[in-house]
Structure 1
Amino acid sequence: MTTLIKSIILSFTFLTWIPITKAINFQPSEFRLSISFYPIVGLFLGSILLLTYTLSDLIFPVQVTAAAMLAVSSFSTRFLHLDGFIDCMDGFFGGNTPERRLEILKDPHVGAFGVIGGISLLLLKYTLLISLLTLPASNYIAILLFPCISRWTMVLSIIFFKYIRTDGIGSTFQEGTSYIPLIIASTTTILICFIIANTYLILIPFIAASLWAILFNFIASKLLNGGITGDCYGAVNETSEVISIAIIYFLLTSYWATLVIL
């Protein structure tokens, strides 16, 4: 089995419910290369959400459909990113020093900040999905693309921001990382966006999510004394999803935006 195929398998294994094949021995270089394919995994997850929407919309009202999509989104990633967001809320708001924040981030228990932050995030995403699903057409663009764009921001985070811990799976993905995964992931994301949306305005959520990822990780690295953790990757993904959905919804409902087509 080639390094490329093993890296693709690893990207799906890490970001989705697909179990690790014990017969495959992954090398460190394959862990690093696997982040190149995160946007493709995002498109795969977006396709699952689109299928969920299509089937649920035949029977249930939009509120139930939005809830089903939210549940599928969380279960299909094993709550990996949501867990990271919740941990970040606890750590960033519950700790007064970098050491204490890192300690909280490693604590498996959930605190008040994590609960409130997690509920707020889910409610916001649920409301945005309802708004999106009530559009007469073209909502498939957002459904397919927001998971893709958000996974791209994870690649950005891994490449440009130091992993603060010496252990943890995050260090495996980042250690020795070159810019090749960044080039592959960014090119893939932009191509997917243009093919699906067919307008250069789709670069707006792409750029906005990227800038947000940089800002979030910059603040996180200050709070954690010079680096970020794997939880930050999850938090960036979750918040970038919200930003992407909101901006694509705005573009789909703006008359001037619908006139600008490639």
Structure 2
Amino acid sequence: MRGILETVAVAFSMFSALPMPQISWEKRNMRYALCAFPLVGGVIGGLCWLWGSFVSGGVPDLLRGAVLCLLPAAVTGGIHLDGYCDTVDALASHGTPARRQEILKDPHIGAFGVIRLCGYFLLSFALWTTLAAPVGKELCLSFCLSRCLSGWAVARFPLAKHSGLAYTFATAADRKRVAWILLLAGVGLGGIVCWKSLAGGAMVLAALLVFWDYWRRSRKYFGGLSGDLAGWFLQRVELWMLAAVWIVEWGAHLL
């Protein structure tokens, strides 16, 4: 039990801003840390459900949407948004894979990163604001599903370099078992989301399309996966899943 708790603590210490007991990162507690990554999504989804349910009809839609938009970043501390901005800047350079890797290492944010980050929050805010309340199971579980896909990619995708966050977690993990656990968890979550739900089916389809694009671009433009690319993927897939649910709701309203 202690080993499981330490593994969960490692995952939350790295991938969230929530207070955790300080423990040393060792092979034994990092071996399955990626498997605990979806639990961070469970906390985000749970908080979104609580806020969306208890304020339904009680606060203006703009305030409801603003909190739902900002909750994921508040829980994660913005770690994935950092990777999103770096990757956007690297892609905008149209340079070689080596040049893009250099841009990923630069701690400064570029103009394209700022522009895309503003657009990201604006679109996320608009989607959350116009979605029906309360927040459904599809979107609550989307944060877990996105992390199943992200963790699986870290375990199975080729790595671009022998350093960095993705390399640290990938090399410390029992990659084959971690991949199987996350695959089964992802399939189970996808089944629950899709069960008798057109919005859930659209959400899973969107996630798979973004995941395919992630695999293609990480190999073609960067020579493999890195921690920044993992953050870029996570932010994109969550936004596209949110958009897919909104499209279904909007289509049903038109009909």
In the superposition, the TM-score normalised over structure 1's length comes to 0.84
| Superposition CA RMSD, Å | 2.4
Is 2:152 the partner of 1:187?
Answer: no
Residues 195 and 153 from structure 1, CA distance in 2 versus in 1: closer, same or farther, beyond 3 angstroms?
Answer: closer
Q: CA deviation at 1:31?
A: 2.0
Residues 195 and 213 from structure 1, CA distance in 2 versus in 1: closer, same or farther, beyond 3 angstroms?
Answer: closer
Aligned partners of 2:154 and 2:225 also within 8 Å? no
Alignment of 1:176-255 (within 5 A): 177-192=174-189, 194-195=191-192, 198-199=195-196, 202-224=200-222, 226-252=223-249
Equivalent residue for 1:258? none
Alpha-carbon distance in structure 2 between the residues aligned to 1:20 and 1:103: 33
Alpha-carbon distance in structure 1 between the residues aligned to 2:216 and 2:192: 32
Aligned partners of 2:82 and 2:228 also within 8 Å? yes
Alignment match of 2:146 (pick from 147, 150, 153): 150
Deviations 1:56-75 (A, max 9, x none): 54643111211112222212
Quote the sequence identity (%): 25
Q: CA deviation at 1:113?
A: 0.8
Moved beyond 4 Å, runs of 4+: 55-59, 192-198, 251-255
Deviations 1:35-69 (A, max 9, x none): 11222221111111222334554643111211112
Alpha-carbon distance in structure 1 between the residues aligned to 2:175 and 2:202: 26
Q: CA deviation at 1:190?
A: 3.9
Alpha-carbon distance in structure 1 between the residues aligned to 2:205 and 2:29: 28
Equivalent residue for 1:140? 136
Q: How many residues align?
A: 250
Alpha-carbon distance in structure 2 between the residues aligned to 1:164 and 1:216: 14
Residues 108 and 95 from structure 1, CA distance in 2 versus in 1: closer, same or farther, beyond 3 angstroms?
Answer: farther
Alpha-carbon distance in structure 1 between the residues aligned to 2:206 and 2:168: 28
Q: CA deviation at 1:196?
A: 6.4
Aligned partners of 1:32 and 1:172 also within 8 Å? no
Partner SS, residue 179 of structure 1: helix
Deviations 1:82-117 (A, max 9, x none): 111111000111251222211111111111110111
Q: CA deviation at 1:246?
A: 2.1
Equivalent residue for 2:159? 163
Counterpart code for 1:245:
L
Alignment of 1:74-85 (within 5 A): 74-85=73-84
Alpha-carbon distance in structure 1 between the residues aligned to 2:103 and 2:155: 24
Q: CA deviation at 1:237?
A: 0.5
Alignment of 1:5-44 (within 5 A): 5-22=5-22, 24-44=23-43
Alpha-carbon distance in structure 2 between the residues aligned to 1:195 and 1:209: 15
Aligned partners of 2:202 and 2:248 also within 8 Å? no
Alpha-carbon distance in structure 2 between the residues aligned to 1:119 and 1:180: 38
Q: CA deviation at 1:200?
A: 6.7
Alpha-carbon distance in structure 2 between the residues aligned to 1:140 and 1:228: 32
Counterpart code for 1:3:
G
Equivalent residue for 2:168? 172
Deviations 1:113-171 (A, max 9, x none): 10111111112211211221xx2x56322331221122122113212212212221221
Structure 1 unmatched ranges of 5 or more = 256-262
**Larger deviation: 78-87 or 10-19?**
10-19
Alpha-carbon distance in structure 2 between the residues aligned to 1:49 and 1:97: 40
Alpha-carbon distance in structure 1 between the residues aligned to 2:100 and 2:216: 15
Alpha-carbon distance in structure 1 between the residues aligned to 2:250 and 2:211: 25
Aligned partners of 1:40 and 1:188 also within 8 Å? no
Aligned partners of 1:95 and 1:104 also within 8 Å? no
Aligned partners of 2:42 and 2:141 also within 8 Å? yes
Alpha-carbon distance in structure 1 between the residues aligned to 2:134 and 2:20: 35
Structure 2 unmatched ranges of 5 or more = none
